[in-house]
Structure 1
Amino acid sequence: MSDKPVLVSADSGILTVTINRPAVRNAIDRATTLALADAMDRLDADDDLRVGILTGTGDHFCAGMDLKAFLAGERVEIEGRGLGGLTQRPPRKPLIAAVEGYALAGGFEIALACDMIVAAQTARFGIPEVKRGLIAGSGGLVRLPQRIPRQIALEYALTGRMMEAATAAQWGLVNRLTATGAALDMALELAAEITGNAPLAVRASKQIMDFDQNGPEAEVWQRQNAILETVIASQDATEGARAFAEKRKPDWSGI
């Protein structure tokens, strides 16, 4: 196994990014954050890449910030980008978390920064920072109550208790539940389904759904319609209609 903190591979439009520090349950130090940020930049910059998958080596997804690195004075976040280079600035393209084992503290916050979560039945989620005199400051306290009922999110945030994968699925936090060891394979299946669609339309759909839906309704519609006009005028929109009429698979250009 490589000693690189993050492994990256690309195939069929899917970028698979693997946190590779199994000896510390894939905890995040400075080098790991920088490598993850580079991977997210590659995902957004490469037109041949449609979807990203983020996972961890070994039995766990990520146990959060490496506390030894923190105590040694390492700054494990990137200013303006957050933990893993993505909690404050996720990629523009879809990102799926494939979770085995623990996704705790910053690890859970990284999973929450992804667009979808595929989890093994034995996965465990949690933001236990209050047990260490800290708070979930990498997006957990913001995103968790957006994904599940506020009072349930409060319970987990204030107790620091772990959430089982089945409970996470019950609250709609997890897209797919799998057998132990199968999260990555299921995430690849989901990613492949997404890559079969028009890349411009996929990115535009994600962009619109990332809008602040609590803003003025007129402003939301205005921003959506501006993006919609670009999609309608695209070559892919014409290709999609033509392929449907000709009963064949579309040949997407991404423009």
Structure 2
Amino acid sequence: MELTGTAPGPSGHRTLRVEHDRGRLTVTLTRPAERNSITRELITDLGAALDLAERTEDCRVVVLRAEGDTFCSGMDLSGVAAAGAGAPAEGADDRRADGTAGGPTGGTAGGPAGVQDTRKGGEDYFALLERLTTIGRIVVAQVDGHAVGGGVGLVAASDFVHATDRSRFSLPEALWGLLPCSVLPFLIRRVGFQRAYAMALGTLPVAAREAAVHGLVDELAEDPGPALRRLLFRASKLDPATVADLKRYTRRLWILDEHTQRTAVDEFVRLMSSDRVRGRIAGFADLSAGTGRDVPPAAPR
């Protein structure tokens, strides 16, 4: 995490940059070449950034944004693809993980070490989404480009979503034999059951304007500045404890609890222990290698 501004905190991490300015902490994902994919290191760095927001006395808003044309592509397929269907995952990057569509990064596909590693990745990702929904700061996702898989989870768990017209949101996991296990509870909370179910089953990208109609996007504008300034002004009047109280109370009104987490992670581990699923992921990664893409091309709309 690279730190600028005056807020005290950790530095030296590689996945994001943190900037502090007049009541807000801006967290920018800084791996556009990897399409800002979710790794274990990124999950750790995002957690550290949220810790910093809580320690920074004047911070009222956390802005989550990204460099490049992809907000977040979810899981990086290379770790699972390297293991293949039931083959040892030698040489896989042990930092790669995604609670939505991640996989073991060590051991064999169904071996105890691989299952344990997969479960840990799923638990860590779900816990990050929960943290976004409970922290006593207003979290704003600024999306300018593609949000895919686990990236949709980061969006859905944010308090406000500001997006440009070119933004797209998609859940392609079913194409690999997977499910967006950890994303769905947060997405359903935001857009309702049928819309979230249709995104998971249909796998097609949803345009920003359609996402705004269904409540996934709160503000649609090419320049997010005015909306953010209005929000910052109102947020400056709120006690962070009140923000945390509201988040805790609304969480108790919804299905997000320990049982939901166990259900999501258990299903994720079950799927990722399947040679069939791992084989589909490896095959899809091979097809994508020539194009440099790790998600299906957008269908005409």
TM-score when scaled to structure 2?
A: 0.63
1:221-248 CA-to-partner distances (Å, cap 9, x unmatched) read xxxxxxxxxxxxxxxxxxxxxxxxxxxx
Cα gap change, 1:20/1:186 in structure 2, threshold over 3 Å: closer, same or farther?
farther
Counterpart of 1:83 in structure 2 is: 125
Q: Which runs of 5+ in 1 are unaligned?
A: 216-255
Counterpart of 2:219 in structure 1 is: 176
Report the Cα offset of residue 84 of structure 1: 8.6
Contact residue 163 and residue 220 of structure 2 kept, 8 A: yes
Query: Amino acid of the residue matched to residue 206 of structure 1?
Result: K
| Identical aligned residues as a percent | 32
Contact residue 37 and residue 72 of structure 2 kept, 8 A: yes
Ranked by relative contact order (alpha carbons within 8 Å, sequence separation 6 or more), the top structure is 2
Counterpart of 1:106 in structure 2 is: 150
Distance between the aligned counterparts of 1:80 and 1:128, measured in 2? 18
SS at structure 2 position matched to 1:192: helix
Matched positions, count: 210
Query: Amino acid of the residue matched to residue 57 of structure 1?
Result: E
Distance between the aligned counterparts of 2:123 and 2:151, measured in 1? 15
Report the Cα offset of residue 124 of structure 1: 0.4
Distance between the aligned counterparts of 1:43 and 1:36, measured in 2? 11
Runs of 4+ with deviation above 4 angstroms: 77-81
SS at structure 1 position matched to 2:70: coil
* Alpha-carbon RMSD: 2.5
Superposition pairs of residues 14-163 of structure 1, within 5 angstroms: 14-70=24-80, 71=82, 72=92, 74=94, 75-76=96-97, 82-83=124-125, 86-90=128-132, 91-138=135-182, 140-163=183-206
Cα gap change, 1:166/1:173 in structure 2, threshold over 3 Å: closer, same or farther?
same
TM-score when scaled to structure 1?
A: 0.73
Distance between the aligned counterparts of 1:80 and 1:41, measured in 2? 21
Report the Cα offset of residue 69 of structure 1: 4.1
Superposition pairs of residues 180-219 of structure 1, within 5 angstroms: 182-183=223-224, 185-186=225-226, 188-199=228-239, 200-213=241-254
Query: Amino acid of the residue matched to residue 82 of structure 1?
Result: D
Q: Which runs of 5+ in 2 are unaligned?
A: 3-12, 83-91, 99-119, 257-301
Query: Amino acid of the residue matched to residue 97 of structure 1?
Result: A
1:157-215 CA-to-partner distances (Å, cap 9, x unmatched) read 11211111100111122110012xx24x2563244123321324333333333332579
Query: Amino acid of the residue matched to residue 58 of structure 1?
Result: G
Report the Cα offset of residue 36 of structure 1: 1.0
Report the Cα offset of residue 133 of structure 1: 1.8
1:22-73 CA-to-partner distances (Å, cap 9, x unmatched) read 1121112222221111101111233221110111112221111222245525
Report the Cα offset of residue 106 of structure 1: 0.5
Distance between the aligned counterparts of 2:219 and 2:186, measured in 1? 19
Larger deviation, residues 187-196 vs 144-153: 187-196
Contact residue 33 and residue 85 of structure 1 kept, 8 A: no
Contact residue 168 and residue 206 of structure 2 kept, 8 A: yes
Query: Amino acid of the residue matched to residue 46 of structure 1?
Result: T
1:83-128 CA-to-partner distances (Å, cap 9, x unmatched) read 2962233233221100010011000111111111111111101111
